[in-house]
Amino acid sequence: MTTKTFAELELSPKVVAAVEAAGYTDPTPIQAQAIPVAMTGRDVLGIAQTGTGKTASFTLPMISRLETGRARARMPRSLILAPTRELAAQVAQSFEKYGVNHKLTVALLIGGVSMDEQTKKLDRGVDVLIATPGRLIDHFQRGRVMLMGVEILVIDEADRMLDMGFIPDIEKICKLLPPKRQTLFFSATMPPEITRLVNQFLRDPVRIEVAKPASTAQTIKQRFRWCEDGEDWAKREALRDLMRAEDVRNAIVFCNRKRDVAILLKSLLKHGFNAGALHGDMDQSARTETLDKFRSGEITFLAASDVAARGLDIPDVSHIFNFDLPWQSDDYVHRIGRTGRAGRQGSATSLVTYEDLKLLKQIEAITGDSTVWIGDPPSEQDMEDSKSKKRRRSRSAAPSRGGDEKRAPRVGRTRTPREPRSEQPRGERPPADQIAIDQPGAEQPQVSSQDTAAREPAREEGRPPARSRRERGGGRQRDARRDQQPREEGRDGQQQRSARSGRDAASETAKPRSEPKPTPRQHNERTSERGAGGADKSAFGANEQIPDFLRRPVKRKPEAKSEPQAADG
């Protein structure tokens, strides 16, 4: 037997009076089935699509059960966990609306608000604690809230908790609660992870499912617009055409990225649309102010990310526009669920590009509805290419432009590519063959006679060999020194000059012109032939000014210390 009025749901007279004062007379299917079970104290697993009145399904029985009793400091009597700040604030508004005939204290623990004010409310004692998981754990770790007195636990939008990564926090919070409690668990879908959470923390729950998971309301008219050109500027132009063609009272435009929300807002304001923005990077005061303006009608179009997709109760939203198809098909159900609420008619229009055709197939599979196109649908070739995973174009390869008109490509001079830098580590000296010869003070490379002979062309007979640059430089230095010295007169000066020229000639004739570099074995044999007599005569020629320590190199044993040798007289 289906219940027709709230008075038959075993609610307290004060709660029924508050509901009737709010203008509600008939409960929704999820309310009619969940409220009587919740009043008995049993656990409830409620599964229904968004916009079916799930919030009242747990707020009304909670208020009736909390009429008796008194809250103690830092020990709330009931706890409601919500995934987003907006949904938590909306639940707090529901308690204010339905609890007007009660003196229940409500505390809201969300981010973006001063923790000191929240701590003051907790110190006075609260009957209903509404919180997001992160802020609740923060207060608990600081010792500002104790959870051993919670009698009723409510987890709202559990599948959204899973998407946002709050399941580990939910498990941690549930382990801090007393085992004897009532748990009300609500979700639009039941993925495996949510099923595991239900089996772990609910005791013999009553499963209430008023519609198949992720189904859309029949009051929503769904349509799709094919955008052959997948560029963002073309999509914004198509969106503006749809906004002007439809009789839009107010609308929410969803984007996948927060960056696209800001660009879309700038475009709408530029073309004269009364619009605002809502995304996760905004602080709490700005988000609350924007929502209040949208509810009051001061803002007509709201560009938003998925932060506004779930839980926001704005009854009079006439249109939903999907600038981007959501990456998860479940999010499509939650997005369009912002319209067509409480039996009202709504419209949902989505822009589809070539890259979105695969996502569109997933949406069709989960909703079970056929696609209705506005204008020309995609060609059969496009559909076949999307099935075979052939990418015709990529939006990531061509970044979106901030303007709304198609711009010509930029033309400019081509830059000459830079030469690659040397890979030599900093602070190390380059090899000797890389040092410029003409560089002052640079260490000159040692060029072997074989390399010189290979580079020089064949010489004519009788022609003296060309001297190297180093030899020419050394000769000029010797000539300069000779000019600077005072000329020696007489017989002694002539003898010195003749002796010097004789030594130079002897050294030139003694030194072979193209002698190959000796191998280590030949070097050892020549050293042994010299013996203790000193240096090789052929190497030094008739130069008698070489000191003795250069003629007689000291031989040392590698293992034992050698005794000092006596100097020759």
Structure tokens at 163: 């998407």
* DSSP classification of residue 342: G
Q: How far apart are the first and last CA of the chain?
A: 134
Sequence letter at residue 121: K
* DSSP classification of residue 356: G
Angle at the Cα of 439 from the Cα atoms of 437 and 442, rounded to 5 degrees? 80
CB atoms within 10 A of CB 174: 20
Helix (H, G, I), strand (E, B) or coil at 358: helix
Sequence letter at residue 227: C
What b/e readout covers 441-471, taking b as 16+ CB neighbours within 10 angstroms?
eeeeeeeeeeeeeeeeeeeeeeeeeeeeeee
This prediction's pTM: 0.56
- pLDDT value of residue 386: 66
Residue 88 near residue 108 (C-beta atoms within 8 A): yes
Q: CA 236 to CA 435: how far, in whole Å? A: 62
| Residue whose token pair is 């919740």 | 38
Q: Enumerate domains of the chain plus CATH numbers.
A: 6-209 (3.40.50.300), 220-387 (3.40.50.300)
Give helix 380-387 / helix 357-367 axis angle, nearest 10°. 90
Q: What share of the chain is helix, strand, coil (3-state, %, to 5)?
A: 40, 10, 45
Residue 291 near residue 359 (C-beta atoms within 8 A): no
| Residue whose token pair is 């604690």 | 129
Q: Convert 221-233 into a string of H (helix), E (strand) and C (coil).
A: EEEEEECCCCCHH
Find, among 96, 92, 97, 124, the residue nearest to 108 by Cα.
92
**Dihedral Cα 77, 81, 82, 85, nearest 10 deg:** 60
Residue 65 near residue 39 (C-beta atoms within 8 A): yes
Q: CA 6 to CA 25: how far, in whole Å? A: 7
Q: CA 30 to CA 53: how far, in whole Å? A: 7
Residue 220 near residue 54 (C-beta atoms within 8 A): no
Sequence-ordered strand ranges (E) for 97-169: 106-109, 128-131, 152-155
Structure tokens at 190: 């039941």
Find, among 324, 320, 311, the residue nearest to 256 by Cα.
324
Sequence-ordered strand ranges (E) for 149-300: 152-155, 182-187, 206-209, 220-226, 251-254, 275-278
pLDDT tens for the chain, 569 residues: list them: 455 688 888 899 999 999 999 888 889 889 999 999 999 999 999 988 766 788 999 999 999 999 888 888 999 999 999 998 888 998 999 999 999 999 899 999 998 888 999 999 999 999 999 999 999 999 999 999 999 999 999 999 898 898 888 999 999 999 999 999 999 999 888 888 999 999 999 999 999 988 655 566 678 899 999 998 888 999 999 999 999 988 889 999 999 988 899 999 999 999 999 999 988 788 878 888 898 899 889 999 999 988 765 556 676 789 999 999 998 877 888 788 888 876 778 899 999 998 888 889 888 887 777 888 998 888 887 777 766 554 444 444 344 444 444 444 444 444 444 544 444 444 444 444 444 444 444 444 444 444 444 444 444 444 455 555 555 555 555 554 554 454 444 445 555 555 555 555 444 444 445 455 556 555 555 554 454 444 444 444 445 566 666 666 556 666 555 455 444 43
Angle at the Cα of 47 from the Cα atoms of 45 and 48, rounded to 5 degrees? 150
- pLDDT value of residue 500: 53
Q: CA 321 to CA 336: how far, in whole Å? A: 8
**Helix or strand (DSSP H, E) at 338:** none
Angle at the Cα of 100 from the Cα atoms of 97 and 101, rounded to 5 degrees? 145
Q: In what order do the strands lie in the sheet with 346-352?
A: 275-278, 301-304, 251-254, 319-322, 346-352, 220-226, 373-374
